[in-house]
Chain A
Amino acid sequence: MLNTLRLAFKNLTRYKRRSLLTGLLIVLGVGAVIVFSGLSDSFKRLMIGQITDSMLSHLQVHKKGYVASIDNLPLNLNLPPQAYQRVKAMLEAEPGVAALAPRLKLGGMLSNFETTTAVRINGIEPQAEDQVVPDLRGRVSGRQPGQALVGRGEILLPEVLARGLDLQPGAEVVVVATNREGSVNGLPLRVGGVVASVMGPGGRDGYMHIDDAAELLRMPKPEISEVVVRVKDFNKLEEVAGRLKTELEQGKNPKGLPMFELHTWADLAPFAHIARLIDLMTIFIKAILVAVVLISILNVMMMSVFERVREIGTLMAIGTTPGKVARLFLAEGFILGLASSLAGAALGVGVIAALHATKVSFLFGMGQRIVLAPTVGAGTVVGVCLIVVAVAALASLQPAMKAARLEPVEALRHV
């Protein structure tokens, strides 16, 4: 086999310019796919990380029907304390769960005593919230190190509202909300910090302590709008979600209907559709690469066979079997594919490394600036190389079979 590969390599050097041009086409194709995959995967990871680590976490449990009306923040679809305890027990029993946190969500009016505006607020347990969305703290400005994420009597305002109402940390505000029974209540609070906006649901929400939220809504004990869950291994999210869904389905209301619903971050964030679109685009670009490799290798190998008919006849005359002739041409396509894919991988990885060092910065929606330090996984690089080598071998198959099927006597007569 080694001798066949050596001879195949020598044959490729016969038409250096042609082999180099074909190889270069594949090198650029592989490089482009790796750069695109690196950029798109890194962007996807960054966005998913931002969404899950600062807002949604990995999973959320609600009372059945809550998510369908989530834009209205319906107070009548909150989980009563006993139901929350039941959910909590189920979640704590699941070994894949790392942490959980309850939230009481409400809509209200925020006033700086001069201007009033609508605000969406998450009532949170600060320590539990730190566990499920560890990056939220990093988005809050105006907090001292060691301070709780939010304290009693404080509110964290989304930066768009803070800017619009010209509110700084320490400023006094009033939040007014209507509870489930329809009575209106107000609560004076101090701005404890400003939360930077990020893309996605909840990216422009404010935060207050869950006990303040309950007090504002005149609940004797906090009811829970959603239970936010962080899993230990993000790669096993679907597995954990499947198990939890089965478990939660056992919770029935007095009518015998399911009482809870569970959603992954992807069910709740529109970015999941963009992520799927990015995946589709990556597949599409890989398909283009496959076509480029297929056509270029097929073309160069067909030319090679047509130009070497007499030589093939000679090889057969001196005892080379048709199988060995086929292997020789397959080896040529294989080497061309392998060498080009390795060079393309080096080019792609090099470009990604350079982009990682310099960082890519661009605006993404609503004035949000994304700073990307792209990386590419070994699996992606190896996968692209394997595809190219396999397609190169496949493209060589037809010319190789054609060469093997030549009749030696006809081939020797060829001029």
Chain B
Amino acid sequence: MDLVSVEGAGKTYRLGEVEIAALWDINLSVKEGAFACLVGPSGSGKTTLLNLIGCLDQPSSGRVLVTGQDTSRLGRREAAIFRGQNLGFVFQGFNLLPVLTVYENVEYPLLMVKRLPKVQRSEAVARVLEAVGISDQRDKYPDQLSGGQRQRVAVARALVGSPALVLADEPTANLDHATAGMVIALMRQMRDQLGTTFIFSTHDPRIVEQAETLFTLSDGRLVDTKAGLAGGQEVGHA
């Protein structure tokens, strides 16, 4: 079953009087449980496409369906609620809240977004911290952690609400190669354990090898789709 379906999506920006196209007529679909990667050089439209799938931005044309819902026309509040209920995000710069401990950072989506009771929160946070192997750092603040540890926390925060889809924009860009490999391996492990669908972007060819499905973008166009890599999931494309 398709978890994500992008149908003829395009995105243009206005820069003064000039209209710049960031994406042209993108058609792709990602099945549940996929471990998909968007590749392409800088400026190819990877981040823009992730933003559309992640309801952070709206397409100028076409539509984006996530979990069967057309998210293209959601209002700001509805989009935020949809993200909180269905999506998880991992950012290149980790984007942890510096005033919160590891535990509190991971707890945030459950406390402030999903408003779960304390018992459920502590169970879920403990489980996910254990899964990403960072339980022993739970009381530390982000500035007391290494880059790899921070990204593990970010992955834990993305997964703690059991989202259907996790989007990771260049999650390894700020990490050394070994740590980057570990983070990607961790994400894949989480997909295997929890069945969560992952879509991440990168332009690092060594990380690309980890992907099971590969979407290649160039100048805002989807130019290639490879499925079934490394024994990964099936994927459809337009």
Contacts and interface: CB of A to CB of B under 8 A. Distances in A.
Interface of A: 3-4, 7, 10-11, 13-14, 310-311, 314-324, 407-409, 412
Interface stretch (B27-35, B80-88, B192-200, B209-217): B80-88
B112 A324 contact: yes
A239 to B, nearest CB: 52
Contact of A311 (B83, B84, B87, B95): B95
Q: Helix, strand, loop or mixed for chain A's interface?
A: helix
B100 A10 contact: yes
A175 B87 CA distance: 101
B103 interface: no
B9 to A, nearest CB: 15
A318 B77 contact: no
30 contacts: A3-B111, A3-B112, A10-B99, A11-B99, A13-B99, A310-B93, A311-B95, A314-B89, A315-B97, A318-B89, A318-B113, A318-B158, A319-B80, A319-B81, A319-B83, A319-B84, A319-B113, A319-B161, A320-B113, A321-B80, A321-B81, A322-B77, A323-B77, A324-B112, A408-B80, A409-B51, A409-B57, A412-B56, A412-B91, A412-B95
B83 A310 contact: no
Interface string B87-126: 1110101010111100000001101111000000000000
Nearest to B89: A317
A324 B157 CA distance: 19
A320 B51 contact: no
A322 B54 contact: no
A317 B165 CA distance: 13
A324 B115 CA distance: 12
Interface residues of B, number: 30
A322 B112 contact: no
B56 A7 contact: no
B76 interface: yes
B95 A321 contact: no
Contacts of A10: 99-100
B201 to A, nearest CB: 13
A317 B56 contact: yes
Contacts of B114: 319
Contacts of B158: 318
A168 to B, nearest CB: 78
Contacts of B51: 409
A314 B83 contact: no
A319 B85 contact: yes
Contacts of B56: 317, 408-409, 412
Contacts of A324: 112
A322 B80 contact: yes
Given A318-B88, A322-B80, 11 more contacts: A7-B112, A11-B99, A314-B91, A317-B56, A318-B157, A319-B85, A320-B113, A323-B77, A409-B51, A409-B57, A412-B56
A315 B88 CA distance: 12
Nearest to B98: A14
A325 B51 CA distance: 20
B95 A314 contact: yes
A314 B56 CA distance: 10
B83 A317 contact: yes
A407 B56 CA distance: 8
A310 B95 contact: yes
B164 to A, nearest CB: 13
Interface in B44-79: 51, 54, 56-57, 76-77
B91 A319 contact: no
Contacts of A310: 93, 95
A403 B177 CA distance: 36
A312 to B, nearest CB: 11
A322 B85 contact: no
B150 to A, nearest CB: 13
Contact of B83 (A14, A318, A412): A318
Contacts of B76: 322
Contacts of B112: 3-4, 7, 320, 324
Interface in B169-202: none
B77 A321 contact: yes
Given A409-B51, A409-B56, A412-B91, A320 B97 contact: no
A412 B50 CA distance: 13
A311 B99 CA distance: 11
A322 B76 CA distance: 8
B16 to A, nearest CB: 17
Nearest to B86: A319
B135 to A, nearest CB: 21
